[in-house]
Amino acid sequence: MSDPFQLDLTQRPRRLRRTASLRALVEETVLRPQNFIAPLFVVEGRGAPEAIASMPGVFRYNVADLVKECRALAKLGVPAVALFPKLESRLKNEEGTAALDEDSLILRTVRAVKKAVPEITVVADIALDPYTNHGHDGVLTPARDDVANDRTVGILVKMAVLHARAGVDLVAPSDMMDGRVGAIRRTLDSAGFTSTGIMAYSVKFASAYYGPFRDAVGSAKAAGTHLLGKQTYQLNPANRREAMIELALDDAEGADILMVKPAGPYLDIIREVRNATSKPVAAYQVSGEYAQLHAAAKLGWLDLARTRHESLLAIKRAGADMILTYFAKDMARILA
């Protein structure tokens, strides 16, 4: 006897959702440990890892402990790490001169990681915010009301060569200065580092989601940070077309990998970028995205494991080939 409420449907998409095995057969987007880049923070000294209050489960490591963390990540199948230093205040100044110290904390860390875990890809940030006492990504204009673009680029190219010499696989200019990708590419090539790649922060928005990261690297309370925003060099979150101009410029200037930052609030931009280039696309699930999931889970409002997975799946589905995420180690454990 037929069901009087049965609909006369030829197409029933639910047929392919009926069992776990059917759902697996038609799954379109799959996360793997190889999709992740783990951001790591390094500090001087030999002390125990320092917990970062606004980023549960994330630490600042001394060099030796950071090397151990890299080794553990590699064993889990995570192919890359992105390194960020937290400097002592006494080493910071207006010009960020510590960025050009040939024996700086970050360069010693790069050398240690590449010696101990040569198989892991090391990404190094190229920007001055960890080194300046005002917390900005470059040197300021004489009036201290903006960042001086060309002077900053002149410092960044030297910084990139030092990192390449230390052994990084990818330099990652995150400063958003005009012309810096082309200048870095030309300088690296002239110095003989033609194999050193550039992962450009091509589409980096002036986002409110960066707060915990600035705590982690010690730039949040730097003098002037709250008086001068980063809107003159980072992108307006309202602007899609401007984002694509920045992308096209970095692509043409020789970036090997193009990044969108933040990731979760900008899935539409990630998709636009994916459609506009054949080069690999990276997306950075930033500290604020990470912190808000932990905070909601702590209050019992969200399931951390499920929202963590879903957030990363959405970023990859939008078009990212690789994701910088503080969840890298936990996700690799689960996926492995």
pTM of the model as a whole: 0.94
Which residues are registered as beta bridge partners of 257? 199
Separation CA 33–CA 13 (nearest Å): 30
Quickly list H helices, 141-192.
149-166, 180-190
pLDDT in tens, 181-212: 999 999 999 999 999 999 999 999 999 999 88
pLDDT in tens, 273-287: 999 999 999 999 999
What sign for the dihedral angle of Cα 268, 175, 219, 160?
positive
Predicted pLDDT of residue 227: 44
In this predicted structure, the answer to whether residue 293 has a pLDDT above a threshold of 80 is: yes
Q: Is 235 helix (H, G, I), strand (E, B) or coil?
A: strand
Q: Is 297 helix (H, G, I), strand (E, B) or coil?
A: helix
Predicted pLDDT of residue 161: 98
As a whole number, mean pLDDT of residues 321-333 equals 98
Predicted pLDDT of residue 221: 55
Supply the DSSP symbol for 194. Answer: T
In this predicted structure, the answer to whether residue 225 has a pLDDT above a threshold of 90 is: no
pLDDT in tens, 136-172: 999 999 998 899 999 999 999 999 999 999 999 999 9
Neighbours of 34 (CB within 10 A): 12
In this predicted structure, the answer to whether residue 252 has a pLDDT above a threshold of 90 is: yes
Residues marked as catalytic: 204, 261
Specify whether the CB–CB gap between 246 and 202 falls below 8 A. yes
Q: Which amino acid is at 74?
A: A
Predicted pLDDT of residue 211: 84
Q: Is 259 helix (H, G, I), strand (E, B) or coil?
A: strand
Q: Confidence band (pLDDT; 50, 70, 90) for 215?
A: confident
Q: Locate 32 and state its tokens.
A: 């793997």
Domain 30-335 has CATH 3.90.420.10: no
Q: Confidence band (pLDDT; 50, 70, 90) for 214?
A: confident
pLDDT in tens, 88-140: 999 999 999 999 999 999 999 999 999 999 999 999 999 999 999 999 999 99
pLDDT in tens, 47-104: 999 999 999 999 999 999 999 999 999 999 999 999 999 999 999 999 999 999 999 9
Q: Beta strands 322-324 and 281-284: pairing type?
A: parallel
Predicted pLDDT of residue 263: 98
Separation CA 144–CA 129 (nearest Å): 15
Q: Is the peptide bond before 262 cis (omega within 30 degrees of 0)?
A: yes
Tell me how far the alpha carbon of residue 208 is from its chain's centroid.
15
